[in-house]
Amino acid sequence: MTEKIEGKTATEWANVGFDHASSGDPFDFLKAVECFEKAVKIDPSGVDGWYYLGSAKEKLGDNPPGIMARQDFYLAAIKSFEKVVELDPQHTGAWIHCGYSTEQLAYWTREEEKRIELYEKALKCYKKAINIDQADGDAWFNLGNAYRYLNQFKNAIEAYEHAININPRDFDAYYNMGISYENLVDYKQAIECTEKALEINPSKERIQNRLRKLEIDKENVEKGDKLVAKGKIAHEAIDLGISCLNERDFNNALEHFQKAYEIYKEANNFMGQAHALRYLGLTAKHQGDWATSLECNQNVYEIYSETNHKRGMAEAAHNMGFIYFQLEKNQEAIERFEISTELFKELNDLAKLSDGHANLGLLYKKQGNFSMAMDAFQECYKIDVETNDKRHQAQDLQDIALIAQEQGDYIKALDSFQKSYEIYKELNIQAGQTQQAGNIKNLIRAIEQEKEITPELHEQIMKTKQSLKLD
């Protein structure tokens, strides 16, 4: 066994490899692979070295640099993980990653017979991992994926259920289980699984979109095969409309969304009508046609209200609030945002709830209602602390400081500006630091022009100056 290469031991080469891999850049992962290859050349029996080498190659398969073929990386990763389990047959992680790389290789393989063979090999790897550790949620989740790709949907559902029993917050397992139920044409269970995924992670747009599609499909299935066929045409029109919208081809987007709406209307599919109207309203918003966008969202809200579809109602009310804000109809905007925040609170969608409170704060401030504005911004800050959203916390604190300044509460204003500055410093956002430092300097200058400064305020000024190293 070679003890060193270029003066470094296996452990030292592994550490250099970790440094390269930590950047996340695909080209740095290539350098990491070179380091791990030297580590296993020095110590061919080192389990960790082979595992790190496989993991780096797997990452390159997921995100290949340049035009390099991802299949080659997955094949190389599989060989490394196979070496790991040869040295240590009880290495759960290696079995799982060997299965994952094999599964990805199958996905990128065109030949159907070969694809099935690879998926079946991945199944065996995941089963090996589960035999070693039945409490490994990742193994059960990946097993479910492999079964799903093989169209063995009942087996997939059983595997996802195991994953969820181990980790009840695994929204991906609920989401994929919903896809499996959809393939079994069990829309009731598919919707329940997708709703659970959305409950756990309400900000995921892909989950929201899938839920809308399932609700539309369920309604079509209940009304007969002819509507299922028409529903597919409408789905295609929606997808084409979204593509045009992303390309900012608004006129064609409108045509596709209008076509979908007319199909859903003819089919008397209310969920479909709401879905199409939502996109018609979004397109009109991009065109600056606020009146049309408002009308679309009002219709969406009415449709969802009839079925007590709370998420649909919340989103439509939120959109109407934004439109009324643009039209400078502040009271109407406040009323809609108040409706949406109540609904988002019920749905535990903290991201949308925070956004709603921020909008309410801006509107109350615009009306000169500083007390209500302060309540809204403080509620917004409370939510962003709960979700650990640092950047929004910094913005919330600035909003709180500006309201406190208007109210003459200079101690609170200085304290909030300072906390905002410190968060921007932690995030290394120079523009935010500069802005808060300017706000603090201007406020201190204004305070010092006051005839009387209380001892408490003087103490806060000194504390803030010291913290920011101001003269």
Tell me the pLDDT tens digit for each residue of 96-144: 999 999 999 999 998 989 999 999 999 999 999 999 999 999 999 999 9
Residues 70-93 have a mean pLDDT of: 95
Rounded to 10 degrees, the C-alpha dihedral 95/101/102/105 comes to: 180
Torsion of CA 409, 410, 415, 418, to 10 degrees: 140
pLDDT at 225: 55
Predicted local confidence at residue 21, as pLDDT: 84
Report how far apart the first and last C-alpha atoms of the chain are (Å, whole number): 64
| 263 phi and psi angles, rounded to 5 deg | -65, -45
Distance, in Å, from the CA atom of 212 to the CA atom of 235, rounded to the nearest integer, reads 11
**By the 8 A CB rule, do 390 and 422 touch?**
no
Quick one: pLDDT at residue 268? 86
Torsion angles phi and psi, residue 385, rounded to 5: -70, -40
Instruction: Give the pLDDT score at 68.
Output: 66
Q: What pLDDT is recorded for position 172? A: 94
**What is the CATH T-level fold of the domain 1-133, as seen in this structure?**
1.25.40
Per-chain mean pLDDT for the chain: 91
Percent of the chain past pLDDT 70, that is, above it, reads: 97
Q: Read off φ and ψ for residue 268, nearest 5 degrees.
A: 60, 35
* CB neighbours of residue 164 within 10 Å: 21
The most distant pair of C-alpha atoms in the chain lies apart, rounded to whole Å, by: 86
- In the predicted structure, residue 2 carries a pLDDT above the cut 90: no
83 is written with which tokens? 């070496």
Confidence of residue 471 (pLDDT cuts 50, 70, 90): low
- Has this prediction a pTM greater than 0.85? no
Q: Is the pLDDT of residue 24 over 80?
A: no
CA 324 – CA 337 distance, rounded (Å): 10
**400-419 residue pLDDT tens:** 999 999 999 999 999 999 99
Q: pLDDT band for 468, please (50, 70, 90 cuts).
A: confident
Q: What distance in Å separates the CA atoms of residue 391 and residue 375, rounded to the nearest whole number? A: 20
* Whole-number percent of the chain with pLDDT over 90: 69
Q: Supply φ then ψ for residue 5, to 5 degrees.
A: -130, 125
Query: Cβ distance 348 to 318 under 8 Å?
Result: no
**With contact defined as beta carbons under 8 Å apart, do 57 and 44 qualify?**
no
pLDDT at 440 over 70: yes
| Residue 2: half-sphere exposure toward Cβ, Cα within 13 Å | 14
Phi, psi of 332 (to 5 degrees): -65, -40
Left, alpha or beta for 358 (phi > 0: left; psi -120 to 50: alpha)? Answer: alpha
Closest CA to 191 of 173, 216, 163, 169: 216
What's residue 228's pLDDT? Answer: 64
Instruction: Dihedral sign for Cα 56, 61, 63, 68, please.
Output: positive
169-203 pLDDT tens trace = 999 999 999 999 999 989 999 999 999 998 888 76
The dihedral sign for the CA sequence 392, 393, 394, 396: positive
- At residue 1, does pLDDT exceed 60? no
Q: Give the pLDDT mean for 315-338.
A: 95
Residue 413 confidence (pLDDT): 93
Please say if the pLDDT value at position 466 is more than 90. no
In the structure, what pLDDT confidence band is assigned to residue 348 with cuts at 50, 70 and 90?
Answer: confident
CB atoms under 10 Å from CB of 456, counted, come to: 10
Residue-wise pLDDT tens digits, 259-301: 999 999 988 889 899 999 999 999 999 999 999 999 999 999 9
Would you give the DSSP letter of residue 150?
Answer: T
* pLDDT of 342: 96
Among the ranges given (4-13, 369-378, 444-453), the one the predictor scored with the smallest mean pLDDT? 444-453
What pLDDT sits at residue 373?
A: 96
Tell me: pLDDT of 399 over 80: yes
| 75 pLDDT higher than 90 | yes
| Mean pLDDT for the stretch of residues 12-33 | 86
pLDDT for residue 412: 94
**C-alpha–C-alpha distance, residues 89 and 79, integer Å:** 14
pLDDT per residue as tens digits for the range 301-314: 999 999 889 999 99
Contact 387, 403 (CB under 8 A): no
Least confidently predicted of 347-351, 356-360, 390-394 = 347-351
pLDDT band at 148 (very low <50, low <70, confident <90, very high): very high
More confident residue, 205 or 362: 362
In this predicted structure, which of 21-25, 265-269, 459-463 has the lowest mean pLDDT?
21-25
| Contact between residue 272 and residue 263 where contact means Cβ atoms under 8 Å apart | yes
